[in-house]
Every structure is written in structure tokens, then in C-alpha cells.
Amino acid sequence: MSLSQLSAYQIAQQVQSKKASCREVVDDFLGRIEAVEERVKAFVTVTGDEARRRADMLDRRLASGEDIGALGGVPIAVKDALCTRGVKTTCSSKMLENFVPPYDAHVVERLAVDGAITVGKANMDEFAMGSSTENSAFFPTRNPWDLERVPGGSSGGSTAAVAALEAPLALGSDTGGSIRQPAAYCGCVGLKPTYGLVSRYGLIAFASSLDQIGPIANDVRDCALLLQSIAGHDRRDTTSINRSLPKYLDALTGNIRGLKVGVPQEFFAQGVQGYVSDAVHKAIDKMAELGAEVVEVSMPSTEYALATYYIIAPSEASSNLARYDGVQYGLRVHEMGDDIVQMYSKTRVKGFGHEVQHRIMIGTHALSSGFYDAYYLKAQKVRTLIRRDFEAAFQKCDVLATPTAPTVAFKLGENANDPFAMKLADVCTIPVNMAGLPAISLPCGFHEKMPIGLQLIGNLLDESTLLRAAHAYEQATDWHTQRAVL
């Protein structure tokens, strides 16, 4: 069996037992990238030379008897919104096409300590704004299950790399579903942690009160393994939570007897296709067979989440992206025109794609004098109602079970001229970000040979219960063992 067919956990064991060297693992995955990348287009940058150098260094450390970490020798794809020292970090935007950070993101530092090996920077929707990775300024990424379909977004390159076996692990970021929705489309496991559990230091910001970095893998165990590596306090992020961490792998007992699974019917409403609803309800039935207690819960504010998100997120994006003015760093259009204002304008028009410009304008309008109270302030009040709905639901249950996405992956270009259909792809994931909760997507079926995602939502900082429930379901089914054929 090729090393690229093994899980991250298995690869780490192979390396620790010296059945495979780090260099052998890296060469195997780089060979896989070379074989399929032209069709998948998961990476903006492949860091092959650096990966080989790091593998050789880890092999020398291992030979001298050193502990190289829980992820020693495991290749990983890193979303191109995460800063990597000395390696281009573009956010898939012309604005940052030549930006080379002088520092690593906190999660990249943690990966290095734990022995992981970055094999490339993964493609994404520009500045993480999109649901299909078609908004990349460079090229769209394709879904390994069907190359004519999207992989989802905005972390589409990360999930496509994992699904295509170009890397056993990947890091994504999730502002409104950007880890979970592409994980559902690509048949992977994707986890959005509790807001603040993973430091955002070095993540190029989209919407700072919603953004969260998280793991993507082919099974729940690998997801837990990567979460253990990247979670924890970082003083450089003022929203980082300072508390001791549980051992997430210990939560994977396979036993969910007595666990209460809540089913909010509001998540099965707007746009959710019948085949998705059927697959998710069958997954809930399977959890009941495993001993879980299924309870109905009501979350009436859910129907307002999509509209609320598309006021709050663009408002924060408008503020965060104001720094890209052609003066400090990034693209600068040299034909200044008559004054500096024209230089600002020309730089931003050339540097930002249509979707980013669109969201900046929405956000600027919502924050402007005379409209702040009517839009942004009201949206924040609705956000509080959404959070209270979750608090009430968790008085009755331990986890919530919903669809991850209302459909399977759609065709490339299918929703390009239908912004409502594109935004509806995140209708089931957005409420979680509004409340800052953890949630995981894992495969629960197929439709037209395309994966369907089950979303499990946990209470604040209760990733252990979430992973326990996901792992028990996963081990009782075989959806996660099926792979895309390229």
C-alpha cells in the first residue's frame, strides 16, 4: 500500500517505529501531487524542496533518538490565508500575489514543533469570501469526486488536497462554514473549533469575530490529532482562550450510550434537498441505534442567520481590508493619476476581485452614518438571539445533528450568476459561527456519487463530546472509507 493511502495517525506510527522515513513519506506525497495536481488544482504553491529538507532534518533528529512530535513526518496542506515565513501567502488574491510574510502563523509554529511537514499552500476563495473556490484570483479548484464540480469554499483547496490524497491533513479557516461545507462536498472530516480555542495570529483576517482556524482530514481520529496540535492559548491573540486542554484522542471511545442528540427542524428547511435530509435522518437513526437519545429542539432565530451574517461579516471585512491601500504592503498600481485617492481606487479595483469588492461595499454601507443602527447594530442584536437559541437547545441535549450543506457539490459555474444560491450553500453552517460554537462535518451518504455531509454541533469548548459522537457514528458506518478515484 502506498504511504499516501494511510491516515496521518498511521503515518506518524510508521515513522516513529522506523518502518518508513520522513523522506520516504514526503517523496510519496509529492509524487501523488505531481500525478494529480494538474487536474485538481488544490495548491497555489507546492513547497517540495522545503518539505524534503525538513524531512531530512527530522530523519536526522529521529536517528539521534529525539522525539520529533506527535505529527512527526506527516505532510500537511496549509490554507493560503495562513502566514508562512519565507513562503508566499497570497490569500488567492492579486492584492497579495507577491506577499512573503516575515513570520509564521501561530498554528504553523505549532505544526513545526509537532513535526508536521508543510507540502504546499492551498487554494481558496479570495480573502476567504466564497463557497466554491471559484473566486480565487488564480484558478478554480476542482472536486476530486467529480472534476466538473466545485470542492466548496472557501477552504476548497485544503479539502480537495485531502480528498485527492495529496496530503493526509490540512488546515482551513471557517468564517461561515468554510471548513465544514467543503468537507461535506469532498467527503472529508472538517472541524470548526470553539471561537478562541485556536489562535488566529497570522491568519489574514476576513471577519475577526467569526474567523476560526481548524483541521481537515479523512477521518475523525486524524481530525482530533491535528486539533490537539493547534489548540491552546496564545498571548498574541487577545481572543485566545487560556485554559487547560483535554486529550482529544481519549474522547474517541466509540460509546455514545445515553448521549442526547438534538434535532432542530429549522435546519432542515430553506433549500435543503430531500436526499440530504433523508441521509442526515438516517445518520441520526444510526446514532439512536448506538444508544443515543434523540430529542427535538426548536431554534426559531435560525431563519435570520443568513441575512444577519451578510451584514456582520461584510462590515468586519470592510474594516479589515481597508489596510490594502497600495501604501503599506501588497499591490500598488503605479499610475497614480491626479492624486493619492485615485491611486487608492485603482489599486483596490485591480487588486480585489468582484466578490471581495461587493462585500466591502455592503459592509461600508452598513457601517456608514445613518445606517449603522438600522443594519449593523440590529444584526448584532439578532446574533444574540441566535446564541440564546443554542443555549436553550443545549439545556436539552449534548450535541445537535443537522445537514452540513443543503445540496451536494454543484457544477463549476452553475451558481456563478446566482448569488442567492451561492450564499445558500452556507445556510446550515453560518449559525454556528454566529454563536462561536464548535461543529464538525463528516460523510453520511452519497447522491449521484457525490458525498453528503452530516454536521454535529457541540456546546462551547466541548470538542471532546463532539469528537466522541462523530467518531462513534463514523466507526459504525463505512462512508469515511470511500475515496475519490482520479
Q: For residues 302 and 21, give the distance between their C-alpha atoms in angstroms, rounded to a whole number.
A: 49
- For residue 6, what pLDDT band results from cuts at 50, 70 and 90? very high
Residue percentage of the chain with pLDDT more than 90:
92
pLDDT tens by residue, 29-51: 999 999 999 999 999 999 999 99
**Domain spans in the chain, listed from the N-terminal domain onward:** 3-258+466-481
Grid coordinates given for 184: 461535506
Cell 499552500 locates to 121
Average the pLDDT over each of 340-349, 409-418, 455-464 and give the range with the smallest value.
340-349
Task: State the pLDDT at residue 269.
Answer: 85
Confidence check: pLDDT of 337 > 70: no
Residue 338's pLDDT band (boundaries 50, 70, 90)? low
Q: What is the mean pLDDT of residues 435-441?
A: 98
Q: Is 154 a catalytic residue?
A: yes
Look up 18 and say whether it is catalytic: no
| pLDDT at 335 > cutoff 90 | no
* Average confidence (pLDDT) over 55-80: 98
pTM, two decimals, is 0.97
Q: Which residue type is seen at 471? A: H
Q: Is 132 a catalytic residue?
A: no
Tell me what pLDDT residue 339 has.
78
Please pick, among 21, 93, 131, 154, the residue that the annotation labels catalytic.
154
Q: Which residue has the cell 507540502?
A: 119
483 grid coordinates: 475515496
Give backbone dihedrals phi and psi of 189, rounded to 5 degrees, phi first: -110, 125
pLDDT digits (tens, 9 = 90+) for 346-368: 899 999 999 999 999 999 999 99
Rounded CA-CA distance 72/111 in Å is 9
Question: Can you tell me the distance from the alpha carbon of 426 to that of 418, in angstroms, rounded to the nearest whole number?
Answer: 14
Per mean pLDDT, which range of 153-167, 304-318, 331-345, 396-410 is the poorest?
A: 331-345
- The reported pLDDT for the residue numbered 419 is 86
**What pLDDT, on the 0 to 100 scale, is given for residue 336?**
56
CA 140, chain centre distance (Å):
17
Residue 118 has pLDDT above 70, yes or no: yes
Within 13 Å and on the Cβ side, how many CA atoms surround 461? 10
Average pLDDT, the chain: 96
Residues 338-375: b if buried by 16+ CB within 10 A, e if exposed: eeeeebbebbbeebbbebbeebbebbbebbeeeeeeeb
Which listed residue (79, 121, 346, 423) is catalytic? 79
pLDDT tens-digit readout, 246-279: 999 999 999 999 999 999 999 998 799 999 999 9
Q: Which of 132, 178, 199, 301 is catalytic?
A: 178
3-258+466-481 is classed in which CATH architecture? Alpha-Beta Complex (3.90)
Instruction: Report the side by side order of strands in the sheet with 293-297.
Output: 43-46, 117-122, 75-79, 169-173, 213-217, 189-192, 439-447, 450-458, 399-403, 260-264, 293-297
Report the alpha-carbon distance of residue 169 to residue 257 in Å, rounded.
Answer: 30
Q: Where are the beta strands (DSSP E) in 156-297?
A: 169-173, 189-192, 213-217, 260-264, 293-297
